Structure formats: C-alpha cells, structure tokens
Amino acid sequence: MARTGTSVGMAITVSICSIAAVGFLVSTIVFYGQADAARKQLDQYTKDTQEIVRDSERNSEAVRLVLEEAKKNNKSLMGYVQDATASLGEKVSGGRGDTLASLVAKVAPRTGESGNLLAMLSERDKQLADATKRAEQADAARVIAQGKQQDEAERFSKSEETRRVSADGLKASVEEYKTKVDGARTDLDSARKTVLGQVTRVREEADREKVQLNNELATVREELLVAQTKIRELSKARSTDAIRPQDEYALVDGEVLDLDPVNARLITINRGRKDKLVLGMNFEVYADAQGLRPNARTGEYAAGKATVEVIRLDDSSATARIVRQGRTTSVAKGDVIANPVYDPAKIYAFLVFGDFDPTRSGNPSPAGQNEIRTLIENWGGRMSPTLAGDVDFVVLGARPLIPPAPPTGAPSNVVESWTLAKRTAEEYDRLLGQAQAASIPVLNENRLYTLIGR
C-alpha cells in the first residue's frame, strides 16, 4: 500500500514535471518568437530613425539643440521641424505650405551675392534707418525753410506796408510841394511884374542921373584942366624952392675907415657882420656921393675909383681887398662905398631843418638846429616855422637817418621812435623838393657860415 502510494506520488511528480517542462518549452518558444518579432521591430525602428536623423548627425550640436527644442515643446523631431518650417514659411512667404527647399528658392534671388538673408535684412534695416534719418533731417530742414519763408513773407509784408505808407507820405508831400510851387510861381510872376516895373523906374532914373553926371563930369574936366594949368604954372614958379628926397641909387652903403699901412691893397670899411655883410661881397669906391649918379643919357653908373671885395668880417667893420683900381686915382680914408643890391635894412627869413654839427664833433644831430638858429638870429635873420612865400633861404643839415624797421611785436616806444625818424626824413625830402621847385636858395651848414661871415 505504501509502495503504491509512493508510486502514485512519483507519477504525479513526473506528470507535474512533464507538464512544467512542456510549459517551459512552450514559454521558451513563445519568448523566442516574441524576441524575434521585437528584434525585427527594433530593426525597422532603427531604420526609420536613421531616415529621420543618422547616428553621425545625432552628435551634431545643431541636431542636439533641435532635439532639445522638440522635447521642450513636447513634439517629435519631425513635428517640431514641420511646425518650424510652416512658421518660417508663414513669416517668409506668407503661407504655411512651403518646404525648406521652396523657401530657399524664394529667398535666394533676394539675398544677392552674400546669400545671407539676415545680413541682407540688416543692410536693409540700416538703409531704412539712414533713409529715415535723412527724411527726418529733410523734414526738419523743410520746417526751418517754411519758418524762414514765413519770416520772409512777414518781412516782405511789413516792407510792402512801409513802402505803401512811405509812398502815401511821399505822394502827399509831392502834392503839398506842388501846391507850394504853384503858389510860388504865382508869387514869382507877381514879383517879376513888380521888379520889371521897378527896373523900368530905376533905368529911367539912372538915365537921368547919367545925363546929370555926364554934365557934371564935363564941368569937372574943365575945372581939372584949369587946375592942372595952374599947378604947372606954380610948379615952374617954385621949382627952385622944392626939397627932393635923395635918389635910391645915390644912397651910400658905407665909407673907408682906414688903409692898411703894410699892404696897400687892403682897406677897412665901417660895415661888418651886424650889418649883414658877407664874405666875397663887392663894393665900388667913390670920392663922394655925387659920383653915384647914373649918366643922364645912357643910364649907366660911372665906375668908381676902385672895386673892393670883402675878405674878413668883424662885428662892426670888415677888411676888403682892392681888386681893381684906376690908374690916376687911389682909395683914400673917408671915401664912400656902394653896392646897388646891398641893403642892410632887409631882414632875411630862414627855414632850418635837418641834423647839424656846429661843434664839429663828427656827429650831426637835431639838437644842433638850436645853435644854427641862434647864429642866424644874432646875425639879424628871422626864423620861419614853415616854407612860406617870404622865406629867403632854406638851411638843410644832414638828412636824418632812418634805423632798420622794428620786427613784429617790438615794444611800442621802439615802433614810435622808428616812425618819428621815418617821418622826419620824409619831411626833409619834402622841404628840399619844394625849395628846389620854388627856386629858393638851399644852403648847407658851410654855405650858411659863409653867408653870415662866421
């Protein structure tokens, strides 16, 4: 019984094991079938995935970023790309049905040589900004121009109004002037008639006075003839009692004071430097004033007994040398001397200018003018401040020197000194030119000393 039970149990165990083995086999067969189907499905999925993105492309940064964007938007890669392409098409061409290829084809003709749409758009934006700026500037200029035009229009309007007012005022003035002219013409006509009447009366009165004056003139002429006859008769009767002034030519200019005891050809006369005697002046010597009369028939003066020349001057006397002497006559003490053009009473006028060296130091300067003027005044001359018509002599010293022109920026006193020197030299040249043009004698320092007998 016990063995039977064991056998049954073993049989059950074997049965169970058999069933389990069969089940495992079936499970294995099913698993392998499922695994093969899954492998095939995986292969197909891998193939399909490769068509979407390849393994070599999956590691690309751009693909990775697109995948991340798709995940963020909870879309597949193709769904994201399709939506992005549709959105791009809508922005580029205005429709969502374009593909990337069609979008590229549409964009390519507009991108130019660069092929960069953003660069093109950036350039367009820049050009648009520049155009907008220029338009704003043009609009601002237009506003300014409009303002100026409006100002000009207002000024023109004011000018027109002013011109109109001026024209109205001028017209009124013309009308008033015309009225005055008409009145003046009427007054003038009336005055002309009055004047013509007065002229007629004056002419008639003048004619009557003329006749009367002619009659009186005839009477006066007759009386004058009678008076002249009486004067001639009286002149003949009193001619012997008449007192006549001495003739100019008979005036004695001096006399011989003494004869030189050593040199018989030297004499001393009573005229000197104070009498405006000058070296080289000649005098004729006569025994008395009667010898100064000219010949009544020829009008010529008779020659004196001698001719003398002044060779040395003192203040009130002079030494003269006999340059001509008659054969039968000789110069004696008390003889008179005469020179037809010598006039000690004449006061000569002098104009002094330039640099002088009266001390003979070798350095002429403007300060020397004072001593020259003093010498002339002591001699009896008169100073003239300008080159007037009464100037007899112009005394010019050395021409004032002009220093080199001062440089730019020189002190004001240096510039003023140079300007003064330049003007002084120009005045020297002007006086010299005017004196020569007017034929006024021009003396230098040495010739002046000779003239005044220094």
In this structure, the answer to whether residues 150 and 105 fall within a common structural domain is no
Residue 247 lies in a domain: no
Confidence of residue 242 (pLDDT cuts 50, 70, 90): very low
In this structure, the answer to whether residues 121 and 233 fall within a common structural domain is yes
Residue 56 lies in a domain: no
Measuring CA to CA, how many Å separate 47 from each of 38, 59, 356, 368?
14, 18, 131, 132
Residue 240's pLDDT is: 43
Residue 327 lies in a domain: yes
Measuring CA to CA, how many Å separate 3 from each of 7, 13, 16, 17, 22?
6, 15, 19, 20, 28
| 279 contacts 450 by C-beta, under 8 angstroms | yes
Query: Could you tell me the strand order of the sheet in which 442-443 lies?
Result: 382-383, 349-353, 393-396, 442-443
Residue 320: strand pairing partners: 267, 310
| 333 contacts 259 by C-beta, under 8 angstroms | yes
Range of the domain at 162: 117-237
pTM over 0.75: no
In this structure, the answer to whether residues 127 and 218 fall within a common structural domain is yes
**What mean pLDDT, rounded, does the chain reach?**
80
**pLDDT by residue (tens digit) across 143-160?**
998 888 888 888 878 878
Of the residues 338, 362, 387, the one at which a domain ends: 338
In this structure, the answer to whether residues 433 and 353 fall within a common structural domain is yes
DSSP track, 318-362: EEEEEEEE-SS----TT-EEE-TT--TT---EEEEESBB-TT--S
In this structure, the answer to whether residues 194 and 212 fall within a common structural domain is yes
DSSP track, 278-299: -TT-EEEEESSGGGGPBPTTT-
Residue 412 lies in a domain: yes
Extract the tokens encoding 12: 């059950």
Residue 246 lies in a domain: no
Residue 276 lies in a domain: yes
Q: What is the total count of domains within the chain? A: 5
Of the residues 189, 207, 237, the one at which a domain ends: 237
Residue 248 lies in a domain: no
**pLDDT by residue (tens digit) across 405-451?**
999 888 999 999 999 999 999 999 999 999 999 888 999 988 888 66
Q: Residue 2 above 60 pLDDT?
A: no
The Cα diameter of the chain in Å comes to: 244
CATH number at residue 311: 2.40.10.410
Of the residues 70, 86, 111, the one at which a domain ends: 111
Give the Cα separation of 305 and 58 in Å (integer): 158
Task: Report the alpha-carbon angle 174-176-181, nearest 5.
Answer: 90
In this structure, the answer to whether residues 233 and 144 fall within a common structural domain is yes
| 335 contacts 286 by C-beta, under 8 angstroms | yes
